Chain A
């Protein structure tokens, strides 16, 4: 019996203490007509060794390709110490720190986490994490609607240059509360949310404007002008940011004259492996005046009976277990272990390390773009400056080219035609600090070769599933 320690004599003694004849008798309150006949569709249990063989085979099946996809999840180096420490049982197998005196490790760590995230984003306070970047943006939108005291609008402006999946998630989460998302277009040349494009929205009340930095295309927005515009029109400004980028870029708390009201984003770049999309964590920071509208756990510093410093969950009157139907959100469990990993990651890198990682990401992307656009017919789509990610156009159908690259164990980017048909056939590419000169060279060489071979019409009758032009 996996993970059940009882011996036959213990079972007997326990049943005797209960006064029951059998374990089965303990289920006698369940009406017999409801009883399940057994879980016949389930496979029988297997040992750790057997499931290990199976899972290793499946993990191997997916390969370990060279990945130039970003689009909201970034392949960073994670120091070994991060997960060595985060998977210590004392962090890994603890619950939400309801008993503060027995959870000082997690609580102090989260207080440090809040400090780091608040400082990175240039705002006063942070919560102890939300699920992921997309759902944190949804929570930020709900929070902005509650927190805006200048108008009672239930409409929020969200740029089309925000990650398409994020926009979908926000829509799924907020629409049942009668909140409407209104899309702001981007400039087709620059790829940014040009403040001039906001003019048509000036006449109507909106609760907030979302300001991404960088936006989904990697393009840098004119964040000062956008933030000031929002404030000038009685809106709150919500910054949607990449935490690695904040080592180099101006933090949202300093955008425009007053800074944003709320910042959020995905913390994945801070120590979370790609892991097919999760677990990552969402973060949220805000100005102190809005803290009572913030969703999620918040840790505060206090004292014990002897006056010794300690940490505890605080402002719980915002939360569902106290306020029930009047809570700021239904969130309960968050992504604590990922916040733990992020704290370890940021402590190991420090300000110098994080800056150097961000710099390496950006300059590697510069090199990547130079190498790729040197290939005939490959060009940048947008003219504005980017951070660590950019949109390119290929001279041939991108799905076929990407498939040919994948056969060479290179993931050459994320195609955007399905999300942005108005841009035609485009590919979002990204290089992090893990993609140095050799990796970029491999990508560029293969891309060049694939495009070259395909230019000569050897074989157009087949839509090959595999690269018809393998390496000589």
Chain B
């Protein structure tokens, strides 16, 4: 039942009405006024609370379920970080409040966070303003472009992207006015260096990579890649979606990357909120410092300041009306401080331990790893193509059946080059018993696929709805309720 269906005409929620206005609206021109009220429900506060509490209970979430969604780093979101980011002093601060008298406390947190991210990534400067990973990518590629343009080197028209890259990479390159050229992956999961060398040239503006790659393996020849790209004058962009695996172990700046974005809603444990908000700060090496998006927090003897385009004339500009998703930045800051110097490395260690353990258990149980000869990083790929051929039960069916066993599904059918794949990322915050339960569930589902395949093909059976008709959703568009 929709909230609109609980609505009754003239039901008013009086606790939420402001005092009766002291003046009229006679100063507003009548031709500019609304004639019919918007379709909003007329419901009591209890009805609202009950309706949305019940809706929430239809969701899987980290707080309720194991959520090994590959490339999404669904780790525990500490409640302490949420509580502190929602302190009244932080929540009530206007973005345009003067920073000298009413903002030093906040700017101190943001400055500290910039410093932490610089250290973790091995970069020279950080801007916190991008509001999600994709906007961080945009900032990164826009800086690459601004760098070439500033040198009068404007013939570079191409961004290279591995065929296994996140879809945001090629989409971002196009938003920055570049053509995209895909680079193939070799059988071991590394970038095909020969193909890369062939693709490089004076038209190359840069390359977008993530390391560990989206195949769940570490790109071992990253220095050679970096040198080859730099040799033709291109720059390297690091997609920080997979930073969790290497925190404190190896830094993108040391690998030769010129620019990076981080997904604070992954590695730094801020909530995903059912689709956001995220935060996608960017870090840069020396060459790209002047181009960072504004504002950037700086510090001098008088305190902390927000530097805008007047102090940074070469900046790629503003990406948000104010300075990004501050509330999310605060959560990430609290998390980073609680985890601290040694903790960062442990995050990478236990994320990697969990992924390798899960991979070893699944392999032992007869599942096929996509790259069995490689170490898993924070995540790994299995392919169910044998099961799909032999049993006619697909990766999608396995994923849906996992929901019946109380586990959120791993990422399915990504990267596209591995058939019938599941990309599994357990994260460091899960214990061994949960990983064991997940292995048992997959073994059971495979047994079901042999003995009663229709149960798996028809899954899920125990959720609020059965499998949904996506084709109907797209063909017979119903995007809003009409009474």
Contacts and interface: CB of A to CB of B under 8 A. Distances in A.
A326 B105 CA distance: 43
Contact of B275 (A301, A320, A330, A334): A334
A83 B347 CA distance: 30
A312 B464 CA distance: 13
B274 A314 contact: no
B468 interface: yes
B103 interface: yes
A69 B96 contact: yes
A197 to B, nearest CB: 19
Given A4-B350, A5-B429, A327-B167, A173 B109 contact: no
Nearest to A245: B34
A60 B105 contact: yes
B127 to A, nearest CB: 12
A93 B63 contact: yes
B445 to A, nearest CB: 15
Contacts of A359: 21, 25
A294 to B, nearest CB: 10
B53 A97 contact: no
Nearest to B476: A302
B250 A34 contact: yes
Contacts of B101: 63, 403, 406-407
> Which residue of A26, A169, A326, A346 has the most chain B CB atoms within 10 A of its CB atom?
A26
B317 interface: yes
Nearest to A409: B102
Interface residues of A, number: 210
A69 B337 contact: no
Interface stretch (A10-18, A182-190, A443-451): A10-18
B372 interface: no
B142 A55 contact: no
Interface residues of B, number: 203
A169 B318 CA distance: 5
Contact of B56 (A54, A105, A129, A166): A105
Given A273-B91, A336-B273, A101 B254 contact: no
A336 B94 contact: no
A101 B463 contact: yes
Contact of B324 (A47, A108, A277, A297): A277
B202 interface: no
Given A34-B255, A330-B175, A59 B34 contact: no
A85 B53 contact: yes
Nearest to A65: B102
A336 B342 contact: no
Interface string A145-172: 0000000000000000001011011011
A304 B466 contact: yes
Given A169-B321, A172-B318, A274-B94, A109 B338 contact: no
B252 to A, nearest CB: 10
A43 B344 CA distance: 11
Nearest to A174: B175
Interface string B356-378: 11001100100000000011100
B94 A51 contact: no
A385 B29 CA distance: 8
A130 to B, nearest CB: 9
Contacts of B278: 333
Interface in A340-365: 340, 343-344, 346-357, 359-360, 362-364
B294 to A, nearest CB: 9
Interface stretch (B11-19, B192-200, B381-389): B11-19
Contacts of A54: 337
Given A3-B75, A320-B134, A274 B91 contact: yes
Given A85-B56, A115-B480, A119-B39, A72 B220 contact: no
B150 interface: no
B122 interface: yes
A93 B467 contact: no
A330 B432 contact: no
Nearest to A123: B480
B95 interface: yes
Nearest to B180: A325
B87 A59 contact: yes
B102 A62 contact: yes
B22 A249 contact: no
Contact of A246 (B34, B176, B255, B414): B34
A34 B223 contact: yes
> Which residue of B13, B77, B101 has the most chain A CB atoms within 10 A of its CB atom?
B101
B90 A276 contact: yes
B82 interface: yes
Contacts of B51: 347
Contacts of B90: 59, 62, 275-276
Contact of A55 (B109, B167, B174): B109
B25 A363 contact: yes
A436 B172 CA distance: 46
A180 interface: no
A111 B479 CA distance: 7
A165 B321 contact: yes
Nearest to B109: A58
A51 B334 contact: yes
A84 to B, nearest CB: 8
Interface string B50-65: 0111011111111111
Interface string A74-110: 0101010101110111111111111111111110111
Interface in A297-339: 297-306, 308-312, 314-317, 319-327, 329-339
A387 B318 contact: no
Contacts of A109: 52, 55, 274
A387 B32 CA distance: 11
Contacts of B468: 100-101, 302-304, 310-312
Contacts of A337: 271, 273-277
Contact of B42 (A71, A118, A326, A352): A352
Given A39-B119, A94-B274, A305-B469, 17 more contacts: A23-B353, A35-B250, A41-B119, A58-B109, A59-B90, A64-B89, A85-B53, A101-B464, A115-B39, A176-B142, A220-B32, A300-B478, A302-B476, A327-B171, A360-B18, A366-B27, A403-B98
7 tightest Cβ-Cβ pairs between the two chains A and B: A45-B340, A277-B322, A89-B63, A337-B273, A336-B275, A59-B89, A277-B95
16 contacts: A27-B352, A47-B338, A48-B338, A65-B97, A101-B468, A102-B403, A112-B3, A132-B321, A165-B318, A169-B319, A273-B327, A281-B277, A302-B469, A302-B473, A332-B134, A351-B40
